[in-house]
């Protein structure tokens, strides 16, 4: 068998192992190791296993991941998510579907602290879902808007998937972060417009809006000082050049801890809980990084990514056609796995193709995040939909999926817009 055929068989086996429920990091590690041994020899595969964990553990850029995870956990325990939701509730009170719109806006704000799709969804779901059910919102609208809002956590910087992508693509994390700001705002606006349109088409799914007084709206902003401080210190310091990305993450984690104390939420129990959640999340992420690195080395020696790029180039199709094919692949993969494994599996394959078409890797990073969001909503897996159903066990999973489907269309519109107008992504990075 040729190395390329071994590579294709390895990908099929990997997907089969995932379907059978094997840990994704271990599946990447196992398939990559066996594939490397099959193409070269067992001794070379053992040498790879010895080298990769030590190499990844000494990668300076990886330090930023546990620090941002810690910042998100401290920020959650500081009660910042509640302040964001209350402000969103008041400022969008004049819109049809006001609570749903406010939830999406609050999720975007919390994404600037958290950086995780699942954590944003779980946090905002716990806060917003009881309020929307109490206000007689249709379960379909309330669950769909929360599931969609959760996906904004990986588009609004800081974002763990963006960091992983930048490490794999050897791109600037700071530039990738700033590239996510305008698309994040654009997608938030598109989501709110989708909610308004859904309520206009079927008014029974949401009660009539009750406008909050201007005094209430401005008073709700008082609770956002901590969010503004944290967001400004982390991203402002990073983009102004005062701090490196790693320093910004460390300062953000320390500030979030101080905010826990200021808001009187700091106790030994909450401190231990935040540390435990951070260690657990990073351990899972680091296992994925190790497994993906072994798998990427295996794919590199099969030459399969380069052969695929050459094949597409010889077909003389436009990059738009290639992008449609990639999107279909990501939607299918999103039905099987979480966003981080998708990045680690596909980036080594797709980057040579993107390079052959002369596309910017920063732009491609934002595209990948958008298709990750599709995967978080699309059945039969749709991680965010499962999270919402876990919060409200009396709501059928089918109802959650129905609520999420209009937002799948919204994300696809977002992908089309950044393809037609790449300046949406590249304007801010080009200013740096």
pLDDT digits over 398-415, tens only?
888 888 899 999 999 999
The better pLDDT of the pair 358, 62 is held by: 358
**Helix, strand and coil in the chain, % to nearest 5:** 80, 0, 20
CA distance 61 to 66: 11
- What integer pLDDT is reported at residue 24 of this predicted model? 74
pLDDT single digits (tens) 42-67: 999 999 888 888 887 777 767 777 88
What is the mean pLDDT of the segment spanning 369-396?
78
- What integer pLDDT is reported at residue 380 of this predicted model? 64
- What integer pLDDT is reported at residue 198 of this predicted model? 93
Please say whether the beta carbons of 54 and 154 come within 8 A.
Answer: no
- What integer pLDDT is reported at residue 337 of this predicted model? 63
What is the mean pLDDT of the segment spanning 197-218?
87
CA distance 197 to 192: 9
Q: Quick check: 349 pLDDT over 90?
A: no
Please say whether the beta carbons of 369 and 180 come within 8 A.
Answer: yes
- What integer pLDDT is reported at residue 309 of this predicted model? 67
- What integer pLDDT is reported at residue 339 of this predicted model? 67
What is the mean pLDDT of the segment spanning 188-210?
91
- What integer pLDDT is reported at residue 196 of this predicted model? 93
Instruction: Describe the crossing of helices 3-19 and 339-356 by its angle, rounded to 10 degrees.
Output: 150
- Number of structural domains the chain divides into: 1
Contacts of 426 by beta carbon, 8 Å cutoff, 6+ apart: 179, 360, 362, 363
Q: Quick check: 187 pLDDT over 90?
A: yes
Question: What is the residue-averaged pLDDT of the chain?
Answer: 83
- What integer pLDDT is reported at residue 410 of this predicted model? 94
Q: How confident is the model at residue 336 (pLDDT cuts 50, 70, 90)?
A: low
Per the structure, the complete domain to which residue 181 belongs is given by 3-431
Residue 306 CB neighbours (<10 A):
16
Q: How confident is the model at residue 189 (pLDDT cuts 50, 70, 90)?
A: very high
- What integer pLDDT is reported at residue 34 of this predicted model? 92
Q: How confident is the model at residue 358 (pLDDT cuts 50, 70, 90)?
A: confident
């990075």: which residue's tokens? 429
- What integer pLDDT is reported at residue 16 of this predicted model? 85
Please say whether the beta carbons of 66 and 282 come within 8 A.
Answer: yes
Global pTM value:
0.78
CA distance 98 to 210: 8
């Amino acid at each position: 068998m040729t190395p390329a055929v071994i590579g294709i068989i390895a990908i099929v086996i990997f997907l089969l192992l995932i379907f059978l429920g094997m840990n994704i990091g271990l599946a990447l590690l196992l398939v990559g190791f066996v594939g490397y041994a099959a193409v070269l020899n067992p001794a070379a595969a053992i040498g790879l296993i010895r080298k990769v964990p030590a190499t990844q553990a000494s990668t300076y850029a990886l330090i930023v991941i546990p620090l941002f995870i810690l910042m998100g956990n401290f920020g959650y325990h500081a009660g910042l998510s509640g302040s964001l939701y209350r402000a969103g509730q008041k400022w969008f009170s004049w819109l049809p579907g006001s609570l749903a719109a406010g939830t999406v806006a609050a999720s975007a704000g919390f994404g600037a602290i958290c950086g995780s799709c699942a954590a944003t969804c779980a946090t905002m779901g716990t806060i917003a879902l009881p309020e929307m059910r109490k206000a007689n919102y249709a379960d379909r609208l309330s669950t769909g808007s929360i599931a969609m809002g959760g996906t904004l956590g990986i588009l609004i910087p800081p974002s763990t998937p963006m960091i992983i992508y930048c490490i794999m693509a050897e791109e600037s994390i700071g530039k990738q972060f700033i590239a996510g700001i305008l698309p994040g705002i654009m997608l938030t606006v598109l989501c709110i417009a989708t909610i308004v349109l859904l309520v206009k088409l079927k008014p029974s799914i949401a009660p009539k809006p009750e406008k909050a007084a201007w005094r209430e709206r401005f008073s709700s902003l008082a609770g956002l000082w901590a969010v503004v401080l944290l967001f400004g210190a982390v991203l402002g310091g990073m983009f102004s050049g005062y701090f490196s990305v790693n320093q910004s993450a460390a300062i953000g984690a320390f500030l979030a801890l101080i905010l826990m104390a200021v808001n009187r939420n700091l106790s030994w129990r909450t401190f231990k809980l935040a540390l435990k959640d951070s260690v657990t999340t990073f351990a899972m992420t680091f296992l994925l990084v190790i497994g993906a690195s072994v798998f990427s080395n295996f794919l590199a020696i099969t030459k399969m990514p380069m052969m695929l790029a050459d094949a597409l180039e010889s077909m003389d199709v436009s990059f738009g056609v290639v992008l449609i094919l990639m999107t279909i692949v990501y939607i299918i993969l999103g039905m099987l796995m979480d966003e981080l494994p998708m990045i680690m599996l596909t980036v080594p394959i797709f980057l040579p193709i993107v390079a052959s078409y002369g596309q910017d890797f920063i732009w491609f990073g934002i595209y990948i995040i958008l298709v990750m969001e599709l995967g978080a909503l699309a059945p039969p897996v749709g991680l965010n939909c499962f999270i919402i159903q876990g919060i409200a066990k009396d709501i059928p999973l089918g109802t959650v999926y129905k609520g999420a489907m209009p937002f799948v269309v919204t994300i696809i519109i977002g992908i089309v817009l950044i393809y037609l107008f790449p300046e949406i992504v590249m304007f801010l990075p080009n200013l740096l």
